[in-house]
Amino acid sequence: CPFLIMEAQRLEDQQIEEVDIQVKSTLEDKIEIDYNKLLKRLSPIASPLANRKLTKRICKLLRKEKNSKTIFRGSKAVMRCLRKNEDGVVILGGDVFPIDLISHIPVSCEERKIPYC
């Protein structure tokens, strides 16, 4: 009977939606926990700090452009770009240890009026 098949499909769709909602909520909880754990590992000079929404957008952008030739990784490459007065944005990790590895970069960014976070 076509009606019974449609009813069964509708029930299956509802069950799938409920499972999807449960999975999404557990993933969001896990992301929230992970973000809070990361906040505890911050270095004392991690300021200005990007908020959660901006951090998510930055991570998405970096994932998308990670193989691009316009992104430079590492303090040595970033300092080279700063000395050459290239335009851009500097994104520093807040959990870098020891702090001395990146403590000179914000000063250079401020001298050259380049935004950083």
Per-residue pLDDT of the chain (117 residues; tens, 9 = 90+): 333 344 444 444 444 444 444 444 454 555 555 667 777 777 766 767 777 788 888 888 888 887 888 888 888 988 999 999 888 888 887 777 777 888 888 888 889 998 888
What secondary structure, in 3-state letters, does the chain show?
Answer: CHHHHHHHHHHHHHHHHHHHHHHHHHHHHHHHHHHHHHHHCCCCCCCCCCCHHHHHHHHHHHHHHCCCCCCCCCHHHHHHHHHCCCCCCECCCCCCCCHHHCCCHHHHHHHCCCCEC
Could you tell me the residue ranges of all domains in the chain? Answer: 30-112
